[in-house]
Structure 1
């Protein structure tokens, strides 16, 4: 649609022109009206209409004086003159100003439509030429930019000026729309960004591998400028329904330094997995997750992949969302003290989650069904764009799993502990570990446990393990196999414990049981 401004000092004529023509059908839309020449000039400056229809005789500035004034300013729009006087001199002067048409009042609807069609054809032609020239300009300017960034080509000042790239400063901004996008989608994203920058003449859009590049005339320096550019970009690309990540290099004064700005932006965007702030990120900023080693808390000491796996399983087994949150928080802090890549982190957390689910599935048929349902979500972890999104996804999925497992509110902490010990006698259980799992002070938990069971934690654990050992020996397992399965790394220590508990050695117990069965 081409925009139209109607100018006439008579209100009835202004309103009449708006209603007698089906503007949309003719390819136009009336964006405003003006009642005199001064107002027409002001609104033309602000609206920049494609077509201005104006009366030739008005108080103050005449229609011809308005056109003459705008033409001297370099305005290129079309004009259609209306006059109640069939004066050829007016017509000749109007033609000299490049007026698109001249109609007598009262306006005949058919004649008006014919004039609008004729002017539209001219506007279409101008638009086509302008678009072709613009496309050619963009193509050559992109070529210049890409040859500097990737080919190391040096361009002379004359060449740079020829393509309208002789600017006082330059800054490279790179944009990633996180999506399994096709080439077509990348083309659409590039077009949207081109329209955004072209509207304010802020810079040039170019292709930068899997990213979209923007070369800005005026660098984004302040936080407000960067946040504003980020918000504008996200709004422009909203229809793609994908996360948007933006990084910028520092501003430079010379075009040959543009590659430095580009490399800085590229390095930042390659660290996108650790981004936390929704803005345009720049070097020397705390743009992502970090945790200096000297700030590691005591709870991270001795932490490793196996311990995280066990604790994650404990959280699921005892249906504790609080423990789930704590173990994922510890995992995040622990990972940040190491030099892991995005791929390594995703592999690790997926493996940890898979092992925890597998252990949960062995508890009983109910947990097996629920754990199996949630195993399918593991592939979603690889699709998360940032570390925070990865952990949030896992926490959401496992919280839903805990909800499905249900929590028996009548169980005391001690009953949960006893049940947990009986199900997992082979784990390397310690009171300190369970105190962490249940979020209790270990000394206080030990007293609670003894008051409830009449036995210390270690004595109770040994009894549970001995009973488990008896059943495994009855199945015919070898002594070292039983020792390993119930959590004793030292076979001799297990032998001593078992003999003290049963009065005979493990091998003797197994042999006696076998004889009784025969």
Structure 2
């Protein structure tokens, strides 16, 4: 529906203009009126009506001056000027400022109807042309954004300001649905940033190869994104059915120049391709978690490496050394994270490793009743898994099954192995539900026997181990408190402060100060 605004200093004239023709049947809706030129100008500039009917002589500001000022302020709508004067000078001024029709009072109904009908046709044609122009502009905008992200844009030939891409800082974020079984995302991540995006001022959005890409723009938007990440870190994992629970997010580094956006995009894309290495319930991963690409960290999947892990793990299985077995699998996870090979190649390596262990154990203990899956089942299982931790969990469950089939270790020795594992891995994201399968238990049962054997709950025991190590670092190093928190396994420094004060009755800074004073 097109919009109409009426301005006349006489109330009876305004009421008559509302009734003289059937505006609704012509596709118009009257949205306001004014009795003086100043109010009329303010309303026109603010509301941008499609059509203005206005008396040429208005108190405060003449109608012609209203037209001129509105045009100067960018108003592109249409005017019909009404006047009781036939002085041609008024008509000349009105036409010069882009008035469509100049009608004299008293208004002839047919003449007004003819003018409105003509303007309706003009507005509809302009709307069609504008829609076509905007379509091609948006398409061109998307192509330019694609070129910027992929590093193909010639920025010297692009008017960055006209495209609203000028900013002091940029960052690329990619998101997709978290659950592979979900048909679609429940929320759009752009909405969770809680920023306005008028004229694409805060971010650009584009879909590339079914990935949803956001180019964040400006210090304020990047700050809002950082706050979002910090909120997620404090929660540790999103609540079920929360907005973030349906999304998986990767992000590249912040960059200062549009020319560097390509780097941020490549990092976010590479992280998306490395989702295989994420932990259970991990919903975000950033550029600082990319593995270092150097010779020192290089890990190749050679036959010799396969043989080493096969023989070592078999030795731990035969000796029922669960802690060493768990640490070896953890080491393998870490090294695979730094591997240059693609995910299918890594899955093939893990398949070969399990089948080699299975074959060796079968020959060593051919009389034992070991419920091995078939080779085809193993191949299918590993190939279909989305995450590395799922495959490692399968390995630990299978190795525990083998240990139980070829021996009968006591629960006391298992508890010693669990404590040993905690003492050597406290700095990781260690949780009861992750530990339990490594030693052949479900988390609920392990929690009960752990409390019974050790005398305190699993989480309390882990916290105490971490706090003791943090005290050593506070006494013997110059590391900052937040660095110590990270080194002992606390991802949030505020949470570390809370735990430290609970067990030591002092803040970390107070403890360090006291220790140095006593020395």
TM-score normalised to the size of structure 1? 0.45
- Greater C-alpha Rg: 1
TM-score normalised to the size of structure 2? 0.45
